[in-house]
Amino acid sequence: MRKFDDSIPLQLLKAREATMGFFRPLLQEIPMTEQQWRVIRALNEHQELESKQLADLCCILSPSLTGIINRLEQQGYIRRRKSEEDQRRTLLSLTDQAREMFERVSPGMEARYRELARQFSPQEMELLKGLLSKLCKIKP
C-alpha cells in the first residue's frame, strides 16, 4: 500500500483546506458558511433552481442542503415558490437582500481568488483546472 502522505484523497483534502484558507476570513465577516456561500453563488448564476439541482451543483447532500436552505430563508436570502407548470416542484431563488450582499462581498472574494491564482503561472492554473476537471469525470 502506498504511503499515507501519498494518498490522492488526502492530498485533495489538504489542497481544499489550503484553498479555503484564502476565502474563510471573508466568509466569517458576513458571517456565512462555505456551503451557504456556494448556494448563494449557484443561485446568483442560475437564477432559479430546484433543490436537487442545487444539491448537485453545490456538491452538498440533499439532507444537509435542507438545513442550509432553511437557515438562508430565515436570514432573508432565499425565497421559495411553486412552479407554475408543476405545483409539486419548488423553485429556489435569491432575494434582493441576498443579491445586494453578493454584490457587496464578491469583489473581495474575487480579489482573494486572484491572490490564490498568483501563486501559480497562468499555464499551471490551466493545467490544475484541467486535471481537476478530468479527475471529476472518473467513474469508480
- pLDDT over 80 (residue 79): yes
Q: Which domains does the chain have, with CATH numbers?
A: 4-136 (1.10.10.10)
pLDDT tier at 101 (50, 70, 90 boundaries)? very high
Predicted TM-score (pTM) of this structure: 0.87
The arithmetic mean of pLDDT across residues 14-18, rounded, is 94
* Angle between the N-to-C axes of helices 96-117 and 34-46, in degrees from 0 to 180, rounded to the nearest 10: 110
